[in-house]
Structure 1
Amino acid sequence: MKWTSALAIFTLFWVFSAFFVLPFHGRRAEDADAPLIPGQDRGAPATFRPKRVLLQMTIAAAVCFVLYYIAYVNGWADPDVLSGRA
């Protein structure tokens, strides 16, 4: 696998990991002690820590990419078989 292909696949895993990571973050604004600002969604996080979210996304993407790469190297995820060419 070329390094550019690996980078593209890792980037896809990284972006998709946001859908897995974001729902698990903190208390809702409704449950926090601070008053709601007019127009604020009650389900929004009370505090948002982007560095923490990015780190968790990177860890989740790295784990998924390693599993994919192991499957690729062992032939379990052969591109020709998956595309129907073989």
Structure 2
Amino acid sequence: MFSQIGSLLAVYFVLWWVVFFVTLPFGVRNRTEVDTVDDDVPGSDPGAPVTTLLARKALWATVASAAIFAVALYAYRSGWLEIGRLSKLLGFPL
């Protein structure tokens, strides 16, 4: 029982990080796009983001990965993701 819960948490943890890294580039504006080049600190990169919005992206990653995880878990428990079925679908003999 506990090993299954640990496996599910590990899969969700990896999925969350993948979704989080996918959401990182969305909504990022650098200083040249926002026209704050005049306010730059000397030595700073003009391509550096003005704000990263990490909390919002972490929330979106949590919601999206929970939805993906729920669909994948349902598909697994329904038998849609069995090795035999996937090997036939992909054309690989067992």
Q: What TM-score results when the alignment is normalised by the length of structure 2? A: 0.71
Which residue does 1:20 correspond to in 2?
A: 22
Alignment gaps of 5+ in structure 1:
none
Classify the secondary structure of the residue corresponding to 2:63: helix
Match of 1:32 among 31, 34, 59: 34
The root-mean-square deviation of aligned C-alpha atoms, in Å, is 2.4
Instruction: Show CA shifts across 1:31-51 (max 9, x none).
Output: 113224424251x32112221
Alignment gaps of 5+ in structure 2:
none
Aligned residue pairs, count: 82
Which residue does 1:74 correspond to in 2?
A: 78
Is 1:52–2:56 an aligned residue pair? yes
Greater CA drift, 60-69 or 20-29: 20-29
Greater CA drift, 32-41 or 16-25: 32-41
* TM-aligned CA distance change 1:72 to 1:22, over 3 Å: same
d(CA) in 2 for partners of 1:6, 1:24:
28
Classify the secondary structure of the residue corresponding to 1:31: helix
Do the aligned partners of 1:17 and 1:60 also contact (CA within 8 Å) in 2?
yes
Q: Select the structure of larger CA radius of gyration.
A: 2
Structure 1 runs of 4+ off > 4 angstroms?
A: none
- Equivalent AA in structure 1 for residue 45 of structure 2: Q
d(CA) in 1 for partners of 2:51, 2:12:
28
- Equivalent AA in structure 2 for residue 34 of structure 1: T
